[in-house]
Amino acid sequence: MREAIKQRTAASKTFSMGGGQFRTEYFSYPVHYLCPDGKRWEEIDTNIVKSNDWEFTNGVTANRFNTYFGDRTSENTHLYGVAFKNGGEEHWINFKLKGAQPAYSEASGSSCRFVECFDSVDVAYDVFSDSVKETIWLKKQTPLKEFVFTVKAGGMRLAVDSGGFSIQSEDGCYLWRIDKPYMEDSAGSVSHGVEYRIGHDGSYPTLAVVVTDEAFLKNAVYPVGIDPSITIEDGEGFRYYQNNSTQGAGMMGASAQTYRLSSSIYYSAFDQLKADLAKGVTLVNAYLDLYCTSTTPPNDVRFGNGGAVFYTIAQPWAHGTAPPESNAKRVTQVTTPGATGKWHRINLLNFIDTSFHGLRMVAGDNYTRAIFASPAHSNAALRPKLVLQYLLSPVLGFHDGTGIGTHYYSDGYDNSFKLLDFGTLVAGQVSLPVKVYIKNLAGFEVTNLRVLVSPADFPEKTAIEISQFNSPFIPEDTLRFNGVFADGDEAPFYVRIVTKEDTMLGGDFYIYAKADPY
């Protein structure tokens, strides 16, 4: 199995299994970034390296967005910036913690930490392929309850949104999202008594992270982390819905007896797959892997084992909206005992057709529910992964070799663009040979390439002849081309029309091409 690098997308990898069979893995997070030339997808690398960009000292640039840390021009070395291109325009934003005087900063792997920004306060950053997690670490009790960042941004505006914080372009398009912050102490206790406040210090806009639950800090086990994360808001080819939200960490279906929730998911890859199936692609396997983070009640059969039941969605729906439930088919059920901490495979092979628009998960009974890591889960490695395995028939096209205008006669998908032109013939004539090229358009290597005609299809007393050579022209019903043809490789051959003296009618002539996957 080898990767078909040309088939990469931001969130997918495709592997050639041999024999024309391919396997595409779709992730719920980016795994590739587009190079500046816009022609190649490269592996994302979130390791922080030395940087000479602007005033920054360190950064991550082998990602779908650039992240920068450190200020070489100021005594306050705390500086954090994010930049990326969207629609050809570059967007950037920098945050600087007011009044901070870090003793030093340290970078290791994908993490950067500014140590002792204030007494017993560190600020740490972890870079992922779709987000940057910022954590304000309170190493012991401190009188500080507010942390104010000055904000510099080009052509953008700041907004508090549903308790979180968003950065929007001037026309209102969401570029970044920072979810509502929370606090967690070393014992695992959590408080959501933290909020954002937007202001202005007379020179720059400001973003303040304000602790409102002071009682939590008094009783906490230190250190305490205040955790907001900034996320690039451009989607990764999936639609997700859970209780009127697209951001919940868990996919769940809760019981109707307590409160009714359902989660739904759909990958845009299904759109292309359904189009390919209509063109003759054979689906060999299809499944969605989901990781169960918890069950309620936890692994106790006394409360039942209903868990989660999965149904198909039979009609289109939009990201963040509840999909319709009519005409659904039951796919499978994951029961609760022993489900936690394991991957569960939802087999989809028998359910994908033109009416398939995703999966909806609901509770298996009135007392239990299973919770799976969603596409918004903070641990990207636990997010859902879709796998499609399919068999392709080689696509072969005929063209005239000029490369000018509509030079293809056909494209291998039963689309004809123009006809071979032999001019006007008189009965008894043999036309001059026309040079034609057969080209591999499959996207993978092929072998045993053949071009053939079927005499049984010829009009009466008229024949079409093909030959690998023009001089001498040696007619054969089947031309065989040796060797392996890489994607884009081509081979010439010659075609002529032969008539008899008593030929009365013309007709349609067909030339066929076949090949085997290598």
Average pLDDT estimate for 435-442? 93
Residue 259: its pLDDT value, please? 44
Alpha carbon distance 463, 506 (integer Å)? 10
Architecture per CATH, 396-517: Sandwich (2.60)
DSSP string, 334-381: E-STT-TTSEEEEE-TTT-STT---EEEEESSSS-EEEEE-TT-SSGG
Q: Give yes or no for residue 256 having a pLDDT over 50.
A: no
Flag the least confident range among 15-19, 318-322, 372-376, 438-442. Answer: 318-322
- Give 239: exposed, middle or buried? Use CB within 10 Å, 0-12, 13-18, 19+: buried
pLDDT over threshold 60, residue 324: yes
Q: What is the pLDDT of residue 84?
A: 81
pLDDT score at 229: 64
**96, 150 contact by CB (below 8 A):** yes
Listed as own residue / partner, the contacts of 137-143 with beta carbons closer than 8 Å and 24 or more positions apart are 137/223, 137/224, 137/225, 137/226, 138/217, 138/222, 138/223, 138/224, 138/225, 138/226, 139/222, 139/223, 140/222, 140/223, 141/217, 141/218, 141/222, 142/118
Mean pLDDT of all residues in 87-98: 85
Structure tokens at 17: 């299994």
Q: Which is more confidently placed, 500 or 403? A: 500
Extents of the domains making up the chain: 32-232, 237-391, 396-517
Number of residues that this document lists for the chain: 518
The per-residue pLDDT for 465 is 95
Residue 218 DSSP symbol:
H
pLDDT at 280 over 80: no
Which band of pLDDT confidence, cut at 50, 70 and 90, is reported for residue 254? very low
Determine the Cα angle at 493 with ends 487 and 499, to 5°. 145
Model's pTM, two decimal places? 0.73
Instruction: Please say whether the beta carbons of 199 and 147 come within 8 A.
Output: no
Provide CB contacts within 8 A for 280, sequence distance 6+. 393
Is the confidence at residue 336, as pLDDT, over 50? Answer: yes
Express each pLDDT in 160-196 by its tens digit.
766 667 777 777 777 777 777 899 999 989 899 999 8
Q: How confident is the model at residue 238 (pLDDT cuts 50, 70, 90)?
A: low
Is the confidence at residue 118, as pLDDT, over 50?
A: yes
pLDDT tens digits along 196-226: 898 999 999 999 999 999 999 999 999 999 9
Give 460's pLDDT tier (boundaries 50, 70, 90).
Answer: confident
Integer Cα distance of 152 and 2 in angstroms: 45
Nearest-5° Cα angle at 294, 288 to 297: 130
| Phi and psi angles of residue 303, each rounded to the nearest 5 degrees, phi first | -95, 10
* Residue 253, pLDDT above cutoff 80: no
Query: Do 136 and 226 contact (CB within 8 A), yes or no?
Result: yes
Q: Is the pLDDT of residue 469 over 90?
A: yes
CA distance 94 to 406: 50
- What pLDDT is attached to residue 252? 59
The pairing of beta strand 205-211 with beta strand 194-200: antiparallel
412-421 pLDDT, tens per residue? 777 788 888 8
- The per-residue pLDDT for 255 is 40
DSSP strands (E only) in 243-342: 250-252, 263-267, 282-296, 308-312, 330-334
Q: What percent of the chain has pLDDT over 70?
A: 89
| CATH top class, domain 237-391 | mainly beta
Instruction: Quickly state the pLDDT bin for 155 (edges 50, 70, 90).
Output: low
Helix (H) and strand (E) counts for the chain? 2, 42
The rounded distance, in Å, linking the Cα atoms of 211 and 220 is: 13
Chain position carrying tokens 């970034």: 33
Residue 278 pLDDT > 90: no
